[in-house]
Each structure stands twice: as C-alpha cells, then as structure tokens.
Chain A
C-alpha cells in the first residue's frame, strides 16, 4: 500500500506565544499521524481541530437605529467554520437593530444553519 502523507504548517492562535506547529496527515484526508511544535496541550488540540474542522470566532458590526452610536459590535457565541466566515459577515451585515442594545443580547438565533447565535458585545443606549 502506498499511503502518501502531507505536512501542514500552522501557527497556533490560542495565546500570544505563537507556537509554530507542524502536523503530518494522510494525504487527502483529515487523519492525523503526528503533531509537533506545541508547548501546551491547547496547542495540540488546536492543530487537531485546525485539520479536522477549522473554526474562528466571527466579529463584525451591525447597524443600530436610534442609538447613541450608529453601530454595535457583535460576535458569534462560538467559533464557526472558517470557510463560511465571509458569507456569515454578509448575512450579519444586512441586519439592523433598534437601540437600546446590551452586551450579551442575542441578535441572531441561528447563523446560517450552524445553530450558533450571534450576540452583541457592546452597549448602545437610546438617543434622547
């Protein structure tokens, strides 16, 4: 059997240390053979996730009507698949909410069918 392997290099984003990780996996699969370069268990976990199902927390801003600021910052409550980030921003950007908004308010219940909500991360008060 001729099983080819593939090296995947990445920088860990868990903390500011920025460990340079190298994973070896079976070519064309997400099956990991080895991971090197991590300095803590979180780094190893990150490399595993990055190959099997890479995800990022999305942050952007949405328009607010009648607020002391024109926009409010939002984030996904959990990381979402990396490849849908750009579509997710487009979907979220279309939304307009009414002031007041409080940090933690749920803006979208289920973002693009991921089951993950989008929440406000700042307070925007009503203009008088």
Chain B
C-alpha cells in the first residue's frame, strides 16, 4: 500500500474542492492533493450546461462546464496534485492524526494529511425516499441522472415525462426536455410553493407552458416493464390526501427531483458531530468540523443555491486549513453557539468566535414577506423584502459588529417588520 503525507487533502474536485485546492496553494501550502472519484473534474458542473454560474465569483455569467474549466485550469497551474478515479473509503482520526484511505487505478493509497477538506458534494433523494410506491419499471430517474444522460452522454430518457418534485434540477430538466422535443406533462409538488428558485419557474416552466401542480402528491408509479404513468392526488394544507381528487398522468418517464443530501458518511462514521437540520456536520466559522483539522465546504456542508457560495466556502475552508498547519493546530477559542430562532430551519456555521467576519448561510421554514433577520445579541437587524424556503438566506456579520456581543450565544430569527 502506497503511503502519502500531505499538507492539505481535498476530497472532491467540484466547485468547492477546486476552489479550496487552489486557495490552499495560493496561501503557500506546500503539498496539496485533490481526489475525485470520477474520471473528470468539476463535480456536477459539466452536466449543468445552462448559464447562471459565476455571477458573484467571477462577475460573469457562465455555464457549468465553463465555470469548472476556469477553476480547474487555475488549480492545475498552481501545481495541485490531482488523483482522478480515486475514491476515498475511510477517514480515521485520532487526537491530531488523520488518515484517509482511498482506492484508485493503482490500488489502495493511504494519505496522512495534516488537514482534510470534505468537498464531497451531495447525492439526490430518490423515489423510495419520498414514499412513492409501485413496481420498478424502466423509466424512473432522479433529475441528476436524467441530466447526466442528456447532457454528458446525449441520450434522451423518454418522450412523455412527468416530474415529481419542483427542486431546481427538476425544473432545469423540464426545460431541457422540452427544448429537445419531449412532452413534459406536469411538475408535481407536494408543498403549496415550489421547491426551486422563482426565476426557474419563469424560464423553465412558464416559458414552455409546463404545468406546475402545487399541493399535489404523486402516490404511485404505474407500469411493470416500462413506466406508463403516475397517479396524483391533491393534498390539503396539512398535506393530507383529499379523497376523490385522484387522477392519472400518462407518461413513459418519471423524473424525481426531491432534493439533495450532503455526502458526509465518512465524517459521520469517523464520529463528527452532525446537525439533523442540514443532514451534515456541525462546523464553526472556520468551517472546521468537530474533528480537529477536518473541514467541510460546498454542498457537502450545506445545499447551496449558487455555485458561487460553494466556491467561497471552499476558499474559507482552505484558508482555515493553512492557518491550522501554520499554528500547528487550532488555537483555543471560546466558541459561541449560533441558535435557531423563529422561522429558521438551519443556519451555518454553528459556532462563532467573534474575532473575525463571518458569512452565514441559512434557510427558512415558511415563506414570509417584509421581514428582518434579527440577531438581538449584537443588535443586528437586516431587512429582507421576502424569504422563501427555496431561497437561501445569506449575510455577513463583520468583526466590528461582534464587539457588541454581550451574551455567550447568538440567536438568528426571522421577525415580521412592524
């Protein structure tokens, strides 16, 4: 077995990982290694062929592959060592030692990194996770699978399509399928509001006359060999099925777009503290997990709306990792917990020191108009015209603001403007 000491080991060469690896190099980390399970770099970016990437990070409107190429070229030119087709199997962490075992084309490699950044992305929820019953006919895909088929391999998943769930990837696939000549019958959403961004409702559904059925539940996939339809029923405000409202949508393909789940199993197994709200790890403002010297960024940390956030988190994690190496560990800090107040589903990071600027990423539970994001302990009130669960709330609190902090905690809540 090959053994390999590194300063920074980055797992996953998507937006967060590429940004992390290049940032670490720019900050003079000597030995930066980037692993990816795929043959190619970019994570999910190469199959996201639509524009809308990089407006913040590059101040330019790029497609997914263009964003990936730009980040990759920088990473390569800085001298990051990249291992493709290499899968991280295990993280072992004890005191201040970390071991990552991975398997690649040349067999098992054991990395002994000073720091590890998890930029492992997310996986998709599938049909069985959202309570849809039926046989297992051909023609059921997650939105990301359909995207891989169409936009990496040029294969149409089907001709008549029903989409279950209105997450952004599902909406984007509704448009892609419609553009390529498929008949997209409907997008079925259980909740009374869409799961994806409003702009995607406009440019992916309204533009193509695709029907969005809010407060509707897909209950069954019909067909034994090939999908021949789905059954759909209306639900009330408590998400209970309304009897007598059931109908069938005939289709040969079902695409499930039911959200993303961070891929942090290795961290969980290694004993990292988890947050059930994000289904990922608990982190402080350095994006450091409860395991010393191990960081998380991008969709592995929190499901982001924008690739730009993933890249920025990657850079934050890399900066922290390089500081860790320089200081030979994390200096002792009196971490103050960030607690969830009214209408907050999750908020990341979970701990702050008050000694540096902190960018927060969160989501609300309910849509609301005219609100303040309130943090009473530092007398902060940020106005928002509206908040919706599909739209991440982001804000940065400057170090100066934390000087007012009297309590030993922060509470973030959404309060109506009066």
Known: A71-B153, A75-B63, A86-B179. A16 touches B306 (CB 8 A): yes
Q: Chain A nearest CB: distance from B175 CB in Å?
A: 9
Q: Chain A nearest CB: distance from B92 CB in Å?
A: 36
Q: Which of B65, B152, B305 contacts A121 (CB 8 A)?
A: B65
Nearest A-chain residue to B201, judged by Cβ:
A11
Q: Chain A nearest CB: distance from B30 CB in Å?
A: 29
Asked if A89 CB lies within 8 Å of chain B CBs, one says yes
Are B65's CB and A122's CB within 8 A? yes
Are B69's CB and A75's CB within 8 A? no
Q: Which of B46, B152, B179, B207 has the most CB of A within 10 A?
A: B179
Asked if A126 CB lies within 8 Å of chain B CBs, one says no
Asked if B385 CB lies within 8 Å of chain A CBs, one says yes
Asked if A39 CB lies within 8 Å of chain B CBs, one says yes
Are B207's CB and A16's CB within 8 A? no
Asked if A60 CB lies within 8 Å of chain B CBs, one says yes
Interface residues of B in 65-109 (CB under 8 A from A): 65-66, 69
Size range of the interface on B? 20 to 34
Interface digits, B268-309 against A, CB 8 Å rule (1 contact, 0 not)? 000000000000000000000000000000000000011000
Q: Chain A nearest CB: distance from B72 CB in Å?
A: 10
Residues of B within 8 A of A86 (CB): 179, 181
Are B63's CB and A18's CB within 8 A? no
Q: How many A-B residue pairs have CB under 8 A?
A: 84
Are A89's CB and B199's CB within 8 A? no
> Which of B48-56, B110-118, B245-253, B344-352 forms part of the interface with chain A?
B48-56
Known: A85-B179, A103-B69, A121-B65. A61 touches B51 (CB 8 A): no
Are A16's CB and B197's CB within 8 A? yes
Interface digits, B184-207 against A, CB 8 Å rule (1 contact, 0 not)? 000000000000011101110011
Residues of B within 8 A of A82 (CB): 207
Q: How far is the CA of A39 from the CA of B198 in the complex (A)?
A: 15
Q: Chain A nearest CB: distance from B301 CB in Å?
A: 19
Known: A59-B49, A103-B66, A121-B49. A16 touches B203 (CB 8 A): no
Q: Which of A12, A20, A61, A93 contacts B151 (CB 8 A)?
A: A61
Q: How far is the CA of A44 from the CA of B55 in the complex (A)?
A: 19
Q: Which of B65, B179, B201, B206 contacts A73 (CB 8 A)?
A: B65
Are A121's CB and B202's CB within 8 A? no
Q: How far is the CA of A10 from the CA of B202 in the complex (A)?
A: 7
Q: Chain B nearest CB: distance from A92 CB in Å?
A: 10
Interfacial residues, chain A to chain B (CB-CB below 8 A): 10-18, 20, 39, 56-61, 63, 69-71, 73, 75, 82, 85-86, 89-90, 93, 103, 121-123
